[in-house]
Amino acid sequence: MRKIICLGAALAVPLVMTTAGPAAADSSACTHHFSGPQICIRLDGKDSWNSVTGIWANPPKRVKSRAVTLHWDGKRFDTATAKRVGKSLSYTWSNLQTGTDTKLCVKFKGSNRMACEKTKYIGGRAQF
């Protein structure tokens, strides 16, 4: 059984490598605490153009929506309403020209935690 699992993993690696888009700048970061809310930020895009998603991974079941604020290099940029999808709350700001080396953070109303990620220019190489 162990050999079958190893063989499956070995065959899956080339598949993952070939499906990654060229110069994808996708990344994510989450707050890491054992209790309380886990807040995450996800960047999807390429170089200076990104969609930014704020995620609350474990909100109380009664919470169906919550205000989420996007901070851009330490300044409040926009506040929107994140809605529940399954077991999390999320909101996506689409197709923003974020630039590179920009610190983007999300913070949900009612939580002191903030998740941040920095945009980066990766040019013509693929990121794995």
**Predicted TM-score (pTM) of this structure:** 0.72
- How many alpha carbons fall within 13 Å on the CB side of residue 116? 12
Question: Which residue range forms the structural domain that includes residue 68?
Answer: 22-118
- The CATH number of whichever domain residue 54 belongs to comes to 2.60.40
- 128 residues of the chain, pLDDT tens digit each: 444 333 343 433 333 333 333 333 566 778 766 666 789 999 998 768 899 999 999 888 899 999 999 999 999 999 999 999 999 999 999 999 998 889 999 999 988 899 999 988 776 544 54
Residues recorded for the chain: 128
Residue 83 lies in a domain: yes
Rounded to whole angstroms, the Cα distance separating 92 from 82 reads: 8
Distances (CA, A) of 124 to 3, 24, 115: 37, 9, 28
